[in-house]
Chains A and B, each alone.
Chain A
Amino acid sequence: MFIEYIVGLSGLIAAGLFIYGLKAMSSPVTAVSGIVTAGYGMVFVVGATFLNLFNVSPDARPHLLVNVALAVVALLLGCLWTGWRGRTVQMTAMPQMVAIFNGMGGGSAACLAAVSLLSDHATSGLHLSVTIVGALIGCISFTGSIIAWAKLDGRMRKPVRFGGQRIFNLALFLIALALGALAVMQYGTPEGVLPGILFFGAALLFGICMTLPIGGADMPVVISLYNAFTGLAVGLEGYVMGNPALMIAGMVVGSAGTLLTALMAKAMNRSLTNVLFSNFGDTTSTAKGPEGEMKSADPSDAATSMRYASSVIIVPGYGLAVAQAQQKLYEFVKMLVADGVDVKFAIHPVAGRMPGHMNVLLAEAGVPYDMIYDMDDINDSFATTDVALIIGANDVVNPEALTDKSSPIYGMPILNAYKSRQVFVIKRGSGTGYSGVQNPLFFQKNCTMVFGDAQAVLSKMVEAVKALGTA
């Protein structure tokens, strides 16, 4: 009795700390303290849960020693593996790490549901239905996140699509629901076990099939959606287990995650239904490419023009991060600033792989906040800027998104780099961007390509500016 109060209250305190931490995390000034606060809450509630050892059901008492040993081993394994992966992973690979950790949470929620279904503490049909719904959502989040990880990690480059896929997915979803209903109706009988197992199989398979046709460019939105899914599944399983802390934390994340998903989708000018059910990134539909020749220049020529420009706007993209060239870029920028050039960074809402990703990458290189501008704040300045330097970005500066209604990226807001007097593009090759769409900007008269790896090109640019000496 006494223990129940302690554990229950610790859950309450943790839930409070989570909400406080989340609030703190939504401002750059307090963000760091936010995650630490939430971390304390988590340590506290996990520690208190071990008090439940004195309170296990009589049937489980003989197994207690084994169970505790298993729990400790599982905790250690889980923490060590992900802690090590999380510490060592490159910043560019963060989005897929978030996906995989999120999927683990969804899988854990699904495990909770499986345990509840296996236990013979007969409860109401309502209770069982909630368990099944939570399990379904958790399973989708689990396998869906794994597919999202594989796509972002470059292990699965092309979206998998086939005729009648939507019908197939719908049928699979309905089969999963039917199996779940069957498992609820036959709960507690030996006949209920098989539909239960099949239900989990169908739910897991549905998570895979639902994610397969979605293009890589839409993955951030999908990960955010699955993040909300996991929250929801955790909340529902919290109800099943009679644990209000899980209910609150899960539902807070469920709604916050849904809002984040909507914000991200809005930043990319895509509706959620579009992301989930349309064929974005189909290269086959864009047969006609822009006409003309690309001009290319030497890194040192480009650097010289920037050195003698009065204003430069830099548009960084994922290619910059892949080349690990943020530091080099900032070194180059510092030299330009020292020579009196007005340099700004323009960040597209989805630069990198998800909103805010590029800000994180630039912050890592030490670029101060006040040089970084959001799309809405800087878009009008391009027309009065001497040089726009585009590094490893493509789709986010594609003017076709504004003009060509047949383009798959039509309607996506872009950075108006094409309006500046001179455009330099550092790019590895003349290929297309993540969406697979050719970019007419590269054929424009005021545009010059600087082909090469961003790291190498920027090194040459730094050399070139050094050779010119300081003004």
Chain B
Amino acid sequence: MDSVTSMTFIIALYIFMLAAFTGYVVISRVPSILHTPLMSGSNFIHGIVVVGALDALFNATTLTGQIIGFVGVFLGAGNVMGGYVVTDRMLAMFRPSQKQTPEKKGQQ
């Protein structure tokens, strides 16, 4: 293994470590009512895999490569869109009830 490859690998480990801590810190202290929306939201974020699949498909040279790339982009796009729509729908429900609460107190 040459020094460039090993250096890239070490840098990758640094990125992984920092990202792992970031994910941990960002999620800690989340109230349980948001567990399901948050799971769905993080589900949306790993949909970024579609970007890698697009790159793979753009560079495909064989039929096999094109088929796998096509499937990859389809699945990735589904992950992105489905994740977004579901999360958005769940979170949208917290909007009206938030507004309702102060109004109700005003009436009393």
Point out residues on A near B: beta carbons under 8 Å. Answer: 11, 14, 18-19, 21-23, 25-29, 31-32, 34-36, 38-39, 42, 45-46, 49-50, 52-53, 56-57, 59-60, 63-64, 66-68, 70-71, 73-83, 85-87, 89, 91, 94-95, 97-98, 100-102, 104-105, 107-109, 111-112, 114-116, 118-119, 123-124, 126-127, 223-224, 227, 230-231, 234-235, 237-239, 241-257, 259-260, 263-264, 267, 347, 349, 354-357, 359-360, 363-364, 366-370, 372, 374
Contact = CB atoms under 8 A, between A and B. Distances in A.
B81 A31 contact: no
A238, A256, A363, A364: most-surrounded residue (chain B CB, <10 A): A256
A64 B66 CA distance: 11
Nearest to B20: A255
Contacts of A354: 35-36, 39
B33 A112 contact: no
Contacts of A50: 54
B52 A368 contact: no
B46 A38 contact: no
B34 A25 contact: yes
Given A71-B57, A247-B16, A252-B19, A109 B49 contact: yes
B57 to A, nearest CB: 5
B96 interface: yes
Contacts of A77: 74, 77
Given A105-B75, A355-B36, A259 B81 contact: no
Interface in B24-54: 24, 26-54
Contacts of A23: 26
A363 B39 CA distance: 18
B91 to A, nearest CB: 5
A93 B53 CA distance: 28
A390 to B, nearest CB: 20
B48 to A, nearest CB: 5
A36 to B, nearest CB: 8
Interface in B69-87: 69-87
A28 B55 CA distance: 36
Given A87-B85, A267-B32, A112 B49 contact: yes
B60 to A, nearest CB: 6
Interface residues of B, number: 87
Contact of A355 (B32, B83, B88): B32
B32 A254 contact: no
Given A22-B45, A234-B49, A264 B100 contact: no
A247 B12 contact: yes
B93 A363 contact: yes
Contacts of B47: 42, 101, 105
B54 A101 contact: no
B1 interface: yes
A246 B38 contact: no
A74 B57 contact: yes
A259 B68 contact: no
Given A26-B38, A260-B38, A354-B36, A230 B19 contact: no
B36 A95 contact: yes
A256 B101 contact: no
Nearest to A354: B36
Contact of B26 (A224, A256, A367): A256
11 contacts: A21-B41, A22-B45, A34-B41, A56-B58, A60-B61, A78-B74, A102-B43, A111-B75, A115-B65, A251-B23, A372-B33
A115 B60 contact: yes
Given A102-B43, A356-B35, A248 B82 contact: no
A73 B27 CA distance: 35
Nearest to A53: B58
Given A246-B52, A252-B23, A252-B26, A105 B37 contact: no
